[in-house]
């Protein structure tokens, strides 16, 4: 028999897909791209992974973010814009030394820095922070080394009407900086710089949580430190991480804690910004990771591993740090982002058969079992059920 039903419910947030930016492999000795940069899409429901684009001519890639219906990628000397649903390449822009991206009010900010692979000296730019229009990636303006950052820049975060950018000069060995630049987004003026102190050199990752910005600082790779910036006063406190003889390989904000791993180590650690201790607590996960990313919707930790030559893999852990799933991807999966979407209702579905013992997700896709499915809303035998 034919059964029609309608489920109307409050707004629900789901992860539609997980996008992975695989950096590939470039042989600096031969000048050959042996494995190209690729973008992959992982479906959390079906667990299928597929390559959606290959970025030709890029030696590496460094960042990727989602804004509305569009995906933006920083790859070597290119800034690219894609349709998030069809993966069609919509626009490109040449940006030498592009590193990280941030978007605000129709403008995309690109941090910059690079080095000469022959001399290993930093490449000097007239500007280390450029701004483009998100609509077509056309150039809008730049902050030069007189009106903006004087050295290479890295990660960025936005709070209210301010952009915070890490100024680390990370490509000039022995001359690393410990600054966070502040840009007023209403005027695009460079306002001030926050000094993280002598122990806060080479800030790499920036993370924002409520009233604070946290930075992970790699110093000169002989150790690492954490800094905590109070957004109400724009003052910083820095603490060295004990028992570290090298920098931090990767890190991410996971709830109210920071997960991190020492470079080339295999122990996943957790640092509590509230207690501000000098040590991290081991989480019982022992594998060397290249990237960490937290799925806030389903409270899952996505991690990646690679040998930088032949393989890449993503491992997924639950809130208790149990491995729940993993999948193969490209070489050097260095950035993982989540395509989060809101749904406000499920419209009428007519089925030409009895719905008893039939299971669907909220997109109408038939499932066999709820085992290994993420938290969310499902339709079981014609009834709405919540999986916790």
Name the DSSP letter for residue 46.
Answer: T
pLDDT of res. 1: 39
* Minimum mean pLDDT range among 78-87, 308-317, 323-332, 374-383: 374-383
pLDDT band (50, 70, 90) for residue 344: low
Backbone dihedral region for residue 332 (phi beyond 0: left; psi -120 to 50: alpha; all else: beta): left
CA dihedral 170, 176, 182, 187 (to 10 degrees): -60
- Alpha-carbon gap, residue 46 to 375, rounded angstroms: 14
Mean predicted lDDT score pLDDT of the chain: 91
pLDDT of res. 353: 45
pLDDT of res. 385: 64
Cβ atoms 252, 293 nearer than 8 A: yes
Q: What's the rounded mean pLDDT across residues 53-75?
A: 98
Cβ atoms 243, 251 nearer than 8 A: no
CA dihedral 296, 39, 47, 323 (to 10 degrees): -60
pLDDT at residue 9 greater than cutoff 50:
no
pLDDT band (50, 70, 90) for residue 279: confident
pLDDT at residue 242 greater than cutoff 60:
yes
Q: What are the distances in angstroms from CA 360 to CA 131, 340, 364, 381, 383?
A: 44, 19, 5, 9, 10
> What does the chain come to in residues?
388
pLDDT band (50, 70, 90) for residue 370: confident
pLDDT of res. 248: 81
pLDDT of res. 366: 59
Backbone dihedral region for residue 160 (phi beyond 0: left; psi -120 to 50: alpha; all else: beta): left
pLDDT band (50, 70, 90) for residue 7: very low
Q: Which residues contact 86 (CB under 8 A, 6 or more apart)?
A: none
* Beta strands, E only, 107-202: 107-112, 127-133, 139-144, 153-159, 162-167, 179-184, 189-195
Predicted TM-score of the model (pTM): 0.86
pLDDT digits (tens, 9 = 90+) for 221-237: 888 999 999 999 999 99
pLDDT at residue 260 greater than cutoff 90:
yes
pLDDT at residue 138 greater than cutoff 50:
yes
Domains along the chain with CATH numbers: 14-344 (2.130.10.10)
Instruction: Say what percent of the chain tops pLDDT 90.
Output: 78
- Alpha-carbon gap, residue 225 to 273, rounded angstroms: 12
Cβ atoms 338, 293 nearer than 8 A: yes
Name the DSSP letter for residue 144.
Answer: E
Long-range contacts formed by 38-44: CB under 8 A, 24+ apart: 38/330, 39/64, 39/71, 39/73, 39/82, 39/87, 40/329, 40/330, 40/333, 41/17, 41/87, 42/17, 42/18, 42/314, 42/327, 42/329, 43/17, 44/15, 44/17, 44/18, 44/298, 44/374
Cβ atoms 259, 319 nearer than 8 A: no
Cβ atoms 53, 82 nearer than 8 A: yes
């Amino acid at each position: 028999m034919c059964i029609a039903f309608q489920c109307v419910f409050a707004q629900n947030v789901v992860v539609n897909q997980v996008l992975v930016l695989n950096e590939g492999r470039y042989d600096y000795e031969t000048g050959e791209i042996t494995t190209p940069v690729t973008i992959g899409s992982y479906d959390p429901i079906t667990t299928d992974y597929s390559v959606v684009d290959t970025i030709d001519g890029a030696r590496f890639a460094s960042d990727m973010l989602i804004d509305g219906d569009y995906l933006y990628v920083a790859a070597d000397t290119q800034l690219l814009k894609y349709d998030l649903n069809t993966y069609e390449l919509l626009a490109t822009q040449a940006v030498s030394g592009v590193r990280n991206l941030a978007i605000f009010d129709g403008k995309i900010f690109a941090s910059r820095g690079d080095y000469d692979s022959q001399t290993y000296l930093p490449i000097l730019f007239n500007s280390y922070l450029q701004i483009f229009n998100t609509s077509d990636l056309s150039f809008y303006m730049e902050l030069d080394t007189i009106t903006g950052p004087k050295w290479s820049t890295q990660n960025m975060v936005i709070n209210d009407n301010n952009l915070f950018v890490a100024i680390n000069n990370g490509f000039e060995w022995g001359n690393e900086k410990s600054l966070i630049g502040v840009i007023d987004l209403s005027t695009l003026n460079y306002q001030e710089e926050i000094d993280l102190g002598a122990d806060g050199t080479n800030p790499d990752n920036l993370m924002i949580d409520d009233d604070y910005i946290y930075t992970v600082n790699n110093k000169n790779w002989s150790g690492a430190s954490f800094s905590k910036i109070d957004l109400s006063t724009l003052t910083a406190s820095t603490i060295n991480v004990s028992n570290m003889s090298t920098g931090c390989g990767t890190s991410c904000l996971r709830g109210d804690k920071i997960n991190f791993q020492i470079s080339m180590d295999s122990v996943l650690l957790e640092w509590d910004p509230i207690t501000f201790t000098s040590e991290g607590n081991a989480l019982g996960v022992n594998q060397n990771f290249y990237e960490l990313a937290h799925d806030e919707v389903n409270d899952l930790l996505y991690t990646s591993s690679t040998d930088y030559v032949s393989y890449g893999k993503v491992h997924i852990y639950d809130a208790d740090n149990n491995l729940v799933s993993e999948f193969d991807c490209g070489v050097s999966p260095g950035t993982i982002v989540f395509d989060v979407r809101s749904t406000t209702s499920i419209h009428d579905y007519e089925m030409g058969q009895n719905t008893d013992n039939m299971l669907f997700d909220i997109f109408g896709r038939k499932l066999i079992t709820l085992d290994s499915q993420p938290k969310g809303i499902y339709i079981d035998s014609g009834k709405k059920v919540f999986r916790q």
